[in-house]
Structure 1
Amino acid sequence: MVARRQPSTGEIILKYALIFLLSMALVGCSSNDELPDVTADTGEQQIYEQAQRYLRSNNWDLAVRSLQLLESRYPFGKYAEQAQLELIYAHYNGYEQEAAVEAADRFIRLHPSHPNVDYAYYLKGLAAHSANEDLFSRFLPTDEAERDTSQAREAFAEFNQLVTRFPDSPYSPDARARMLHLRNLLARHEILVANYYFRRGAYLAAANRGRYVVENFQRTPAVADGLAVMAQGYILLGLDDLAEDAIATLALNYPDHPNLDKNGEFKSVYTLDGLQRNWINKASFGLFFPPTPPQFDTRPKL
């Protein structure tokens, strides 16, 4: 697990302000929105048209309830399959990600040959990707790579199913782009985990994370940091031959990496020449300005 950044006072205040505003909005919605005006005699088409009005007005709660009512009353009606598909969409837009995934699973299971089943796979991937993202993370600055990545892995798998089964689907290009983003995200997460292990003194675990990135996430921006992590981990473990191999590979493929000097030598607090301490630390016999654990993250700063 990666140590999470503690929110600042301003972020905390902003979050609680958002909570308050959202609460007021929900109170307003509950007082103004009525349940679908449906009687025992209301027909299938009327309920469907009502659901469409709610969808067009972004009233996701009432859209969900209308679509569920339509399916329960007319499970074999002409709008039943379309209602099941639109239910996924309504759940997703209403921030009910788990419900959206369940609805997509159900649609795929019941209608594997439906002409729009590719859309169900697409929505399932979108819902899985944002399942661990709450409403406030959309407004507060957070590092996506620091979060739990289990949902990102699930989303990648769903998008992969879409592009594999339906390569000509209109949703496949966007799914491929999202897969590229998710792959970069998963690789960066491994680097942040390695940094956490460096802080804990678990150098072998850190080196293994770097090697995992290099071996499994080729062509991602995190590979360069993966090699630097390997080099640093092996140096700290006293495995100089492996460290030199990692440094040579880093210098050959990423000569501009900030942990390399102009001669291709590894720059860090801990190098093959030993611990690099500043003069204040040396003069104070290690009491002041002690070396900090190495950290690797060469992403552009926001």
Structure 2
Amino acid sequence: MSVSKFRSGLVLAAVAVSALTVTACNSGARRPRLAYEERPVEQLYNTGYQRIQSRRWSDAIDYFQEVERQHPYSEWSRRAILMQIYAYYQDNHYQEAIAAADRFIALFPGNPSAPYAYYMKAICNFEQITDVGRDQGYAQAALTGLRDVARRYPGTSYAIDATVKMDMVNDQLAGKEMAIGRYYQRANQPLAALNRYKTVIDNPAYQRTSHTPEALYRLVEVNLALGLKDEAMRNGSVLGYNYPGSVWYSEAYALLSEQAAAPEVAPTAQRESWLRRLIPG
């Protein structure tokens, strides 16, 4: 699985509450860093918010950083950090967004907006997940963060969304195990392949992923190659019991039949998926 870029409506949830405009102000010219000039906090904040609305993320960050610099530990500073998290995230500056979230958590750990900061840390890692052929460090970091959100804030919209994404990340990590297993199998290293496929079968979080049927089938293949017919039959039976209509079971059944070790349960007709009914072919 390759997790595509995701812009959840939740990323705006806490920000929308804190995005309070008080007075209008004239927009200033873009500059790398705002020169220090003491200005009303409302003017700084509202200018930053106007930049957010115009999707001028870097400009917005400059103004919100100035709010934080000139009015530290204030209510305005709290709001400004939240807005920086959002602006950095929208500008694909994920590490800076995570740093801002960490800063908010350190300064305001018990604030009602803390769940948003924890959630955004996880989402920033989630959106950097790459295909299974690459290192899965971001996937592991995302999974840790999402679990933290679900544990800290059960029943919230953040926890619900985190739970859904945890399943997606587990599918990604299981896919990585399968890719490595197939590599070892092609390289004629059956024991190494066996261990990878077993990881998918034995890990409760991976058992619910889309890779489980193939993992069972690959165990049938590898065990037959190793001469372990009884173990191959056992894996085939588990595959047939849980996924009787799977194409992987049909393949496993045919393979075991060649060895006179076919499971008792024959493959059932594969049900046509709802997607195939909507989009034939």
Q: What band does the TM-score fall into relative to the shorter chain?
A: 0.7 to 0.9
Aligned residue for 1:223?
212
SS of structure 1 residue aligned to 2:72 = coil
Task: Say yes or no: does 1:211 pair with 2:198.
Answer: yes
What's the counterpart of residue 65 of structure 1?
Answer: 62
Give the partner amino acid of 1:112.
P
Matched, 1:95 2:92: yes
**1: CA distance between counterparts of 2:69 and 2:100?**
14
CA displacement at 1:261 relative to structure 2? 3.8
2:246 to 253, 257, 267: 257
CA deviations over 1:164-187 (Å, ceiling 9, x no partner): 111132322222221121122222
Listed as ranges, the matches of 1:40-189 within 5 Å are 40-132=37-129, 144-189=131-176
Count of residues in Structure 1 that have an aligned counterpart in Structure 2: 233
Instruction: Output the CA distance in 2 between the equivalents of 1:34 and 1:209.
Output: 53
Instruction: Name the aligned partner's letter for residue 157 of structure 1.
Output: T
Whole-Å separation in 2 of the counterparts to 1:74 and 1:85: 15
Q: Structure 2: where are the runs of 5+ without partners?
A: 1-27, 261-274
Taking only aligned residues, the RMSD between alpha carbons, in angstroms, comes to: 2.7
- Identical aligned pairs, as a percentage? 28
For structure 1, the residue ranges without an aligned partner over 5 or more in a row are: 1-31, 134-143, 274-299
Does structure 1 conserve the Cα–Cα contact (< 8 Å) formed by 2:213 and 2:248?
A: no
In 2 relative to 1, CA 112–72 (structure 1 residues): closer, same or farther, beyond 3 Å?
same
Which AA in structure 2 matches 1:253?
N
CA contact (8 A) 1:207 1:232 kept: no
Supply the distance in 1 between the matched residues of 2:104 and 2:66 (Cα, whole angstroms).
Answer: 16
TM-score (norm 2): 0.74
* Alpha-carbon spacing, 1:52–1:262, altered in 2? closer, same or farther (3 Å): closer
**Using the alignment, how far apart are the partners of 1:267 and 1:128 within structure 2?**
43
- Tell me how far 1:199 sits from its aligned partner: 2.0
Is the partner of 1:145 in helix, strand or coil? coil
Whole-angstrom distance in 1 between the partners of 2:149 and 2:118:
6
Asked if the contact 1:198/1:206 (under 8 Å) is kept, the reply is yes
Give me the whole-angstrom Cα distance separating, in 1, the residues matched to 2:165 and 2:252: 38
1:29-40 map, 5 Å:
34-35=30-31, 40=37
